[in-house]
Copies of this chain bind each other. A is one copy, B any other.
Amino acid sequence: VELLKEKIRLEGKVLSDMVLKVDSFINHQVDPVLVMEIGKAFAKAFEDEHITKVLTIESSGIQFAMGTALALGVPFVYAKKKKAITQSSDLYSASVESFTRNETYQITLSKQFLTPNDRVLIVDDFLATGAALVGLIGMIRESGAALAGAGIVIEKSFQEGRKLIEDAGVRICSLARIASMSPGEIHFIEELKTSSVK
């Protein structure tokens, strides 16, 4: 998905060594054509995995889960940050520390939507500390479902999340891996595998 790196270069704003703002096309205003390209890239990367369900976390993972689930022809589920009155009481839950909001919140998922028969692909917009992914992985393991891997739109490879998730034995496909950044400069990790995905 070269279009993604191009957009990050053109429209992304590096606010500090740690914070990348991509809210004109990823997580506030959203380019649905780019989202579908990303969804197709994840579907292709995991095409041999017989995925039955895509899992993400509200809110900014939802559009990418939607695009990926549509490309794979399966439903998606999103873990919720607040319990709705319509939600069942039979829930998986996990604590997640947010990097961009500097707070800890509880995520929940109704148990009926993850079963031991599922083969799950996690999708999210960012991988930084890996906290959200660790929460989702815990829920999947508790459910007895198989975890096929994680599709990540933008990975900040200089933070600890990538290693944490790989050490947990989870296959990761990140479409844009940022080696380092500073205001005005973004350096991507170029990978044969990622580069060949279009």
Contact = CB atoms under 8 A, between A and B. Distances in A.
A62 interface: yes
A32 interface: yes
A51 B80 CA distance: 31
A33 B73 CA distance: 8
Copies of this chain present? 2
A133 to B, nearest CB: 18
B70 A36 contact: yes
A170 interface: no
B58 A110 contact: no
Nearest to A103: B82
B28 A77 contact: yes
Contacts of A76: 29-30, 32
Given A58-B58, A58-B59, A86-B21, A32 B101 contact: no
Interface in A86-116: 86-87, 100-102, 109-110, 112-113
Given A35-B66, A101-B84, A78 B30 contact: yes
Interface of A: 15, 19-21, 23-25, 27-33, 35-36, 58-59, 62-63, 65-67, 69-70, 73, 75-78, 80, 82, 84-87, 100-102, 109-110, 112-113
14 contacts: A19-B85, A23-B87, A24-B112, A27-B84, A28-B87, A29-B110, A30-B65, A31-B75, A32-B70, A33-B70, A35-B66, A58-B58, A84-B100, A86-B100
Given A30-B75, A33-B73, 11 more contacts: A27-B84, A28-B87, A29-B76, A29-B110, A30-B77, A31-B75, A32-B69, A35-B70, A63-B63, A63-B66, A85-B100
